[in-house]
Structure 1
C-alpha cells in the first residue's frame, strides 16, 4: 500500500542516529567556543601577573598550594557542569592558570627575544591542537584504549616534576617538557574523540580537559624554546 515507506525500526534507528550526530556536533561546537573564550581570562591573568609583578610561591610549598587551588576549581567545575555556574568556575580557573604563567613568562621575557619565543610557543601549540583535533575528527582509528596509558604518563610527569623541585636538574626538566608535549598532544586525540564517540556529552567537562591539554603543551613548549633559543644579548 505504501511502496516508498520504510520499516518503523529502520526509521527510528535513522532518527536516533541523526539525533546522536546532532548532539555530538553541538557538544563539539560548544566546546570549541568555550575553549576560545577561556583564553581571554588566561591572557588577562597572565597580563596582570606580569605587569603587576605579582609574587608567586615557589618550591614544594608553592606546588602544594597550586595543586590544592587547581583541584579545588576542577572539583567545583565538575559539580556545577550542568549549569551556568560551571562556566563561571571554568573561566575563574583559566584566570588562575593565567596568573600561574607569571614566573615562566617573566623568565622568558628576560630574553631579548622573549616576545618572539612566546608567540612561537603559542603558534606551535595552535598547530599541534589543529592537527590532533583534525586527526581525531577524521580518523577511523579508536584511541579510547590510550586513556590508562596516558594517565600513567601524567603520574610519571607529576612525580618527576616534584622530584625536580628539589633536584633542580636541567636535563630532567627538558625530559619532563618533551614527555609532557607528547602525552598531552595524545590527550587531545583522546579527548576530542571521546566527544565524537559520545563518551563525553558535557561541553564544560570537555572544555576543561582540552584546556589542560593545550595549557600543558604551551608551557612545556615555551620552556624548551627558552632553553634552546633564549637570547640574553
Structure 2
C-alpha cells in the first residue's frame, strides 16, 4: 500500500511538473512574439533610446508581476512587462539595421535560440539539479549591476565589455537554473518561470547584438 501511494504521488508530481513546463514554454513563446510586435511598433514610431532610465518602468512592472503572479492579473502584467521590453528594443534594432543591415540581427537571433535550446535541452535530458547555482547567480547579478552603473557613470574603459560578458554568462546560467527548478519542483508558478526565462533571453539577445554591431 505504501509503495502504491508513493508511485501515485510521483505520478501526480510528474503531471504537475509537465503542466508547469508546458505552460511556461507556451507563455514564453507568446510573450516573445508580442515583444517582436512592440519592437516593430517602436521602430516605426522612432521610440527614443532610454538608457538606464528604462530600468524604472521595468522595476515597476516586475513588481506588479510578482504581486499578481498567482492570479489572472498576472498574465496582464506579464504582457505589459514584455511588451515594454519590446519597445525598448526598437532603438537598438534601428541602429543595428541602419549600421550593418539585417545580418547581425539574424545572427543574434540564431545565437540566442541556440543558447536557449542548447542549455534548456541539456538540463531536460540530463535532469541535473542546478540549485547549487542559486547563490552564485544572485551574487553575480548584484556585482554585474553595480559594475554596469559604474561603467555608465564613470566611463571606465573596458568595463562595459566586461559587464556584458558577465550578464551573458549569468543569463545563460539562469536558463539552466530555472529549467532545473521547474523539473525538480522548485518552481511551480509558470508566470514567474516565464519572466525569468524571458529576461534571460532579452539579455542574451541584446548582448549578442551589441557584440555583432561593435557597440561594446
Q: Does the alignment reach a TM-score above 0.5?
A: yes
Q: Equivalent residue for 2:116?
A: 129
Matched, 1:82 2:70: yes
Equivalent of 2:31, from 31, 35, 38? 38
What TM-score do you get using the length of structure 1 for normalisation? 0.87
Q: Equivalent residue for 1:162?
A: 149
How far 1:34 moved relative to its partner?
Answer: 0.3
Give the secondary structure class of the aligned counterpart of 2:135.
helix
Count of residue pairs brought into register by the alignment:
216
Per-residue CA distance 1:47-89 (angstroms, 9 max, x = gap): 111111122334xxxx2x4222112111111221122211111
Return the alpha-carbon distance in structure 1 between the equivalents of residues 193 and 173 of structure 2. Answer: 15
What TM-score do you get using the length of structure 2 for normalisation? 0.94
Give the secondary structure class of the aligned counterpart of 1:100.
helix
Q: Equivalent residue for 1:138?
A: 125
Superposed, 1:91-110 pairs within 5 Å as 91-110=79-98
Query: Does structure 2 retain, via aligned residues, the 8 Å contact 1:41–1:92?
Result: no
Give the secondary structure class of the aligned counterpart of 2:187.
coil
How far 1:114 moved relative to its partner?
Answer: 2.9
Return the alpha-carbon distance in structure 2 between the equivalents of residues 191 and 170 of structure 1. Answer: 33
Matched, 1:180 2:173: no
Matched, 1:190 2:177: yes
CA RMSD of aligned residues (A): 1.7
Give the secondary structure class of the aligned counterpart of 2:46.
coil
How far 1:182 moved relative to its partner?
Answer: 1.1
- Unaligned ranges ≥5, structure 2: none
Larger radius of gyration: 1
Q: Equivalent residue for 1:26?
A: 19
Return the alpha-carbon distance in structure 2 between the equivalents of residues 54 and 115 of structure 1. Answer: 19
- Unaligned ranges ≥5, structure 1: 1-7, 229-233
Query: Does structure 2 retain, via aligned residues, the 8 Å contact 1:177–1:221?
Result: no
